[in-house]
Structure 1
Amino acid sequence: MGERTAAAEAFPLPSGVDWRGVAGSDADSVELKMLLDASGEPVPVTRRRRRGARRVYLLDTPDLDLCSAGVHLRVRRRGPDRYDLVVRVRDAGRVDGRRGPVDARVELDMLPGTLLRTTELRHVVDPALAAACLENGAPLARMLGPEQREWLRTLVPADLPATVLDDLVLHGPLTTHRYRVPRDRFALGRAFLEHCHYPSGRELRELSVKCRPADAPGVAVALARFLVDHRIRPAVGHRTKTALWIEEIRVPDRSAIDERAPESS
């Protein structure tokens, strides 16, 4: 069985997309993601080198007007006095497409049956400013960098009010613990296990591997073998963590969400 065939079995691509296109993409990186069954075997990780809990806040209007337009603003607390704000857009089922501003990064996010071209522009936020906005009620839009503001002008639909950034509120946090899979267990790319805790109390586990586009087909094969070798069971259904989070905000009753997607992210 060829590598592309094996990769397609592990990560079936949307119609019209093939592995040669992924490998030859102009994206800066590819991240393969697999949601895991909560009752499955544990993933071998380096626990003593656990990275601290990350807290992610979604910035949007109370009615999620930006998310509805496909624009995500996320503030991440990456560690003590370390914050960044990311403006992100995603194009589904596309290998090539927009790149955004010069400093934006492009990544192909791949889940089984799903490919998302993610363009994001990151800005490091001063810790004092982050504290003022996240804890003391200062306007959240103050955390945006100049280049992010300029890009947002091109992303926000014309039917939204010009003051939409003045109406931002905090949603969250989504808390994640991130663990490195040791190199002697998975040598290709950079493999991590993320354990996510949603505001509703829901928990999800995601195994991800980041690599260069040219390496993606081989890494997909290696990831499939890794799951089999360690008897790790993927979840049934695959959606992004952000998609489920948005659904939680829109449908606060968790039981309603569980009925729609019992094993999804």
Structure 2
Amino acid sequence: MGFWQPDPLETLAGQADEVELKVVVPRRDGRSLGIDPDRGPARRVYFLDTPDLDLYRHGVIVRFRDRRRRRDDAVVKLRPVVPGRVPGWLRQTDRFQMEIDALPGHAVCSGALKERLGRNDVSRAVAAGRPLTGLLSARQRKLLAKYSPAGVGLDDLVVYGPIDVRCNNVKLRGLDRGLTAERWRFPDGSDLLELSTRCGVDEAAAVAKRVTAALRAYGVAPAAEQPTKTEMALLA
């Protein structure tokens, strides 16, 4: 499977229908793909957690995206998630999506409950000093109440961010699908360039091989470390 190893991806194959193949690459490799890290649609991303990262350590992620010219969104994600243990009320909503997140050497099944917000809802809340928790839907609050560690409530959460994000669509010779390139620049000055594509679990092995071959043709290889964007945002 090229950059992605079959184990543990094959082990998780029965847990979701879709996989997102991700790879963190050195920023210099982005230039060989024609990516300008300072161009592309701009977004600002915020996370919520306690000062001790109690949510993250219990597999719960709360994220808000200020999408500037498009509708914002709020996401409560469980990672990892065991599909058979997801409560019925959550499985029955079409806004709860499960997929396998696969990085080189690491794969995990995650489930995300996303709610669309209005345009500029996030930036207006931040500018007014209102808590971002006020943008969460009733279902998202219910999800947080169920999976947050004991003693952690909405009033205990603080903001991590903003994180400046630039997104680009990348077309490569010899590859029949586009890649999404996201450059995340964190408040401490560090940054991360991630390439990704989604596909069905049953075609993940073939897609991984094709993506690997196309990237190698451009001289692109995975970075030595493969952190997740959330990990960098909360621990940077």
Normalising by structure 1, what TM-score?
Answer: 0.77
How many Å separate the matches in 2 of 1:51 and 1:213? 29
Q: Does 1:232 align with 2:223?
A: no
How many Å separate the matches in 1 of 2:86 and 2:30? 39
Q: Is the 8 A contact 1:99 1:119 kept in 2?
A: no
* Residue 88 (structure 1) shift: 0.5
* Residue 62 (structure 1) shift: 2.8
Per the alignment, residue 143 of structure 2 pairs with: 151
Decide whether aligned partners of structure 1 residues 205 and 129 sit closer, same or farther in structure 2, where only a CA change above 3 A counts: closer
Larger Rg computed on CA atoms = 1
Per the alignment, residue 107 of structure 1 pairs with: 99
* Residue 185 (structure 1) shift: 4.9
Decide whether aligned partners of structure 1 residues 97 and 108 sit closer, same or farther in structure 2, where only a CA change above 3 A counts: farther
Which residue of 186, 204, 207 corresponds with 2:195? 207
Query: After TM superposition, which residue ranges in structure 1, 4 or more long, deviate above 4 angstroms?
Result: 96-100
What are the Cα deviations for residues 48-70 of structure 1, in whole angstroms up to 9, with x where unaligned? xx641111100122332222222
Q: Which runs of 5+ in 1 are unaligned?
A: 1-6, 249-265
Q: Does 1:61 align with 2:50?
A: yes
How many Å separate the matches in 1 of 2:85 and 2:15? 10
Decide whether aligned partners of structure 1 residues 134 and 235 sit closer, same or farther in structure 2, where only a CA change above 3 A counts: same
Question: Structure 2 matches for 1:182-197, cutoff 5 A?
Answer: 182=171, 185-188=174-177, 190-197=178-185
Per the alignment, residue 12 of structure 1 pairs with: 5
Where 1:214 maps in the other structure, the secondary structure is helix
Q: Does 1:139 align with 2:131?
A: yes
* Residue 228 (structure 1) shift: 1.4
How many Å separate the matches in 2 of 1:56 and 1:172? 7
Decide whether aligned partners of structure 1 residues 97 and 55 sit closer, same or farther in structure 2, where only a CA change above 3 A counts: farther
Q: Is the 8 A contact 1:60 1:169 kept in 2?
A: yes
* Residue 144 (structure 1) shift: 0.5
Code of the residue aligned with 2:42 in structure 1: it is A
How many Å separate the matches in 1 of 2:85 and 2:42? 32
How many residues of Structure 1 are paired with residues of Structure 2 in the alignment? 229
Decide whether aligned partners of structure 1 residues 51 and 117 sit closer, same or farther in structure 2, where only a CA change above 3 A counts: same
Where 1:126 maps in the other structure, the secondary structure is coil
Task: Report the identity percentage.
Answer: 31
Decide whether aligned partners of structure 1 residues 132 and 42 sit closer, same or farther in structure 2, where only a CA change above 3 A counts: closer
Q: Which runs of 5+ in 2 are unaligned?
A: none
Could you say which structure has the greater relative contact order, defined with CA pairs below 8 angstroms and 6 or more residues apart? 2
How many Å separate the matches in 1 of 2:64 and 2:100? 21
What are the Cα deviations for residues 172-229 of structure 1, in whole angstroms up to 9, with x where unaligned? 11211111112755213x4111122111111221111111222211110011101211
How many Å separate the matches in 2 of 1:97 and 1:113? 25
What is the RMSD computed on CA atoms of the aligned residues? Answer: 2.5
How many Å separate the matches in 1 of 2:220 and 2:30? 5
Decide whether aligned partners of structure 1 residues 234 and 44 sit closer, same or farther in structure 2, where only a CA change above 3 A counts: same
Q: Is the 8 A contact 1:54 1:177 kept in 2?
A: yes
Which residue of 14, 24, 35 corresponds with 2:24? 35
Decide whether aligned partners of structure 1 residues 226 and 125 sit closer, same or farther in structure 2, where only a CA change above 3 A counts: same
Code of the residue aligned with 1:170 in structure 2: it is V
Q: Does 1:82 align with 2:40?
A: no
Code of the residue aligned with 2:195 in structure 1: it is L
Q: Is the 8 A contact 1:87 1:122 kept in 2?
A: yes
* Residue 81 (structure 1) shift: 5.4
